[in-house]
Amino acid sequence: MAMFPNLNSKNNHHHLIFIYSFKRLTWLTFFLLFNSTHIIHAQKDNIVIHWQNISINTQHFKEEYSLFMTQSPGRDTPASRRAYAYKMLERSVIGEWGKRNQLDLSQRVQLYVNRQVNFVRRQRYLEQALLDTIPQPNMPQLHDAFIKHKTHLRLQQIYGNTRREIDSLYAQLQAGADFNVLARTSMQKYGIPEPEKAGDMGWIHWNDLDLAPEHVVYRLKPLETSTPVASLNGWHIFRLIERKEDIALDDASFLKEQEKLAFEWRNRRFTEAASRHIKSILTAHRLQIYSHKLEALWPLIAPYSERLNTPEGLVAAQQEIPILKAPRLNPQTILATVSGKPFRVSDFLAFLPDVPAPYWRRDLRQALEITIRDAILTEIAKSKIPKQDAYVSLQTEMAQYTARYYATLSAVSDTLHLSRYERAFYEQFKTTLFRDGLITQVEAWAFPDSASVWQTLRRILAEKSLHPLDSISSQDFWVQDQEIPTWPVLTLRVTNDWTGIQGPYLHKGQFWILRAKQHLPRFQKFEDIQPKLPAIMQAQKRLIAHMAALPANYTPAAAQINQAALDTVLPYY
């Protein structure tokens, strides 16, 4: 029986190996973490959107929209905020139906809400335990962060799990051993099999490494090798291959990014302090794992693991894993003991949905260790953070909102007759799924020869008007791309004056000059794609369930939106 192992190992990811294991927060999420508790009561009753008696308050919108933006490739704009507010309102409207039908009392919903509340309690416990110990950065520290933020390093590393191992590797290096060979063999030993990747970390950015390694590598010169340095996950010898620096290191750029840098600087120190705090708690426990019992679970978990990269698969895992049942699955089976206390299959499945997807693999040991870590922290957090905590209360409401929505969608999906919604589905999604190029309305003038057309074009250019065309009859055409091969209709600029005139273009023995009046999207006809709709709609069943679950009297136009609240809920970035 050994002391509790390092639960933060990431040796299944090469580029991120030995980089922070405690999930990093983006600066927007970090803004919420450090500012939410004192503004909850002030903003909770400020409504951003409502319909009838259903509403979304400012704090709920801020929390969910911030998370959405950390994962979205789009920009934060007034339009994106409005669109997301409508989406949240629709989910709340649908969830209200589930509440009236007592779906929120189901086991699935209760387990989901409890799991989310426990997650938030763990966050709040770490915040209360550590936040006051994290200083604010001073100006020299922010300038240093700014320079590192604009500097990118390409690194290699030699890795050792212990100080003794890394000292042995460093001695070999000092005696003339090849860095590449030591890097490759040391990394292969800890789970990186590809020879071409072993030891090569690629390009590293500020915030990618733990603080101690970062302090060392940014001081290296190209092809210089570091002495051994410890991270939260082991020991390293780094070699700098190449350095890139952005040109813009001026005061204006610094001032523009100062606030964001301050948040990220403090976030990093909070993250590392949290990792050390967790490790100090866990090392006080003794762990014994019964591997053969753990291995028996993989055939039941594997089907969910394969679908975690899809929204539907993720929802299925969240809802079904905690209540998983199978003929040979005994929830009371002991998978491990933690300081003599049993950790059972039921405990493992209850916490498994919070385990990151990369750990859902045949060797479930790391996933088990993470669930044990979360279970230990949850028990501590329950004793420290009451359910009445303002932030916990807010997150409980948000978890209920999410759970009701998905429970209602599941209930609707079970009784959904897709054929009833074919026309509605087509109209709803034809601009994204059934678009068939553009059709252009063109005003065209024909000339019998090149001399006359060029004479007219020169007059148009000289007079800067369409008057030279007054004596010539124009024709209107609706033209698709390539319908007339010599007319580049998609490149025509839509105008109502002489500046949009282009040509001449030869067609049917005549010379034409053209002006685009409008470009309109063209769609496949409903009758043409109807035979394909059942298969398409089956893949989009959750979206259709959303459409079907909305009450008939709901329309976005009937909702009241508070644009001022949306504009001030967060700074635009």
Taken as a whole, the chain contains a residue count of: 573
Average pLDDT over residues 326-333: 92
DSSP per-residue string spanning 320-361: HGGG---TT--TT-EEEEETTEEEEHHHHHHHGGGS-GGG-S
Residue type, 488: P
pLDDT of residue 145: 92
pLDDT of residue 242: 94
Average pLDDT over residues 192-214: 84
Confidence of residue 85 (pLDDT cuts 50, 70, 90): very high
Q: Is the pLDDT of residue 7 over 60?
A: no
Average pLDDT over residues 29-53: 60
Q: Is the pLDDT of residue 295 over 50?
A: yes
Q: Decide: helix, strand or coil at residue 257.
A: helix
Average pLDDT over residues 406-430: 89
Average pLDDT over residues 48-58: 94
Confidence of residue 541 (pLDDT cuts 50, 70, 90): confident
Confidence of residue 32 (pLDDT cuts 50, 70, 90): very low
* 141-185 tens-digit pLDDT: 999 999 999 899 999 999 999 999 999 999 999 999 999 999 999
Query: SS3 sequence, 60-105?
Result: HHHHHHHHHHHHCCCCCCHHHHHHHHHHHHHHHHHHHHHHHCCHHH
Confidence of residue 247 (pLDDT cuts 50, 70, 90): low
Nearest to 362 by CA among 287, 306, 288: 306
Mean pLDDT computed over every residue of the chain? 86
pLDDT of residue 474: 92
pLDDT of residue 45: 53
Nearest to 348 by CA among 314, 324, 312, 327: 324
Q: Is the pLDDT of residue 26 over 50?
A: no
Q: Is the pLDDT of residue 8 over 80?
A: no
| Percentage of the chain exceeding pLDDT 90 | 60
Average pLDDT over residues 503-528: 92
Residue type, 502: Q
pLDDT of residue 285: 92
pLDDT of residue 572: 79
Confidence of residue 543 (pLDDT cuts 50, 70, 90): confident
pLDDT of residue 460: 93
Average pLDDT over residues 3-31: 35
Confidence of residue 481 (pLDDT cuts 50, 70, 90): confident
pLDDT of residue 340: 93
More confident residue, 358 or 166: 166
Pick the range with the lowest mean pLDDT from 283-287, 478-482, 569-573.
Answer: 569-573
For strand 510-523 and strand 560-561, is the pairing parallel, antiparallel, or unpaired? unpaired
Confidence of residue 251 (pLDDT cuts 50, 70, 90): confident
13, HSE (Cβ side, Cα atoms, 13 Å): 14
β-bridge partners, 238? 157
pLDDT of residue 415: 87
| Percentage of the chain exceeding pLDDT 70 | 91
Which residues contact residue 75 at a Cβ distance below 8 angstroms, ignoring those fewer than 6 apart?
A: none
What is the dihedral sign for C-alpha 466, 470, 473, 476? positive
β-bridge partners, 461? none
More confident residue, 408 or 195: 408
Confidence of residue 38 (pLDDT cuts 50, 70, 90): very low
pLDDT of residue 248: 64
Exposure of 351 by Cβ count < 10 A (0-12 exposed, 13-18 middle, 19+ buried)?
Answer: buried
Q: Is the pLDDT of residue 10 over 50?
A: no
